[in-house]
Amino acid sequence: MPAARQLKTKTGRETRMYKIIGSDGSEYDSISADKMKEWILANRVDKKTPVMSEGAEDWVFLGDLKEFAETFASVQKTDAVGSPKHRWGRRAVYIGLFLVAVVIIAFFLLKKAKHH
């Protein structure tokens, strides 16, 4: 098995390179660990994103790689505390329920008006 290609970062440490299969089905390669962490934090990739470390023979899920566990954990903590994403999700549910209630009330009022 060939050795994984290493890239020196600005701090001088080496990082492994990865390739992924994006949600569009395309393969993206030469992704550094730092770039992958940025993408995790930006929700561009998730735990079910297929990934292969350079030099590896098999695809695995990004969430199965230990080197990204801490990054995924920080994303979950942020989401759990009421991030804007969750606030808008709740707001959409409340708006939806309100609209359903308005439609039901309007239906019964119109039905009652027709019978008089």
What mean pLDDT comes out for the span 77-98?
A: 69
CA dihedral 94, 99, 103, 109 (to 10 degrees): 80
Contact 61, 72 (CB under 8 A): no
Reading the block at residue 37, the tokens are: 């962490």
What does the block give as tokens for 67? 């080197």
Residue 60 — very low, low, confident or very high, per pLDDT cuts 50/70/90? Answer: very high
Instruction: Count Cβ atoms within 10 A of the Cβ of residue 71 and give its class: 0-12 exposed, 13-18 middle, 19 or more buried.
Output: middle
In the Cβ-directed half-sphere of 110, how many Cα atoms lie within 13 Å? 6
The yes-or-no verdict on residue 8 having pLDDT over 90 is no
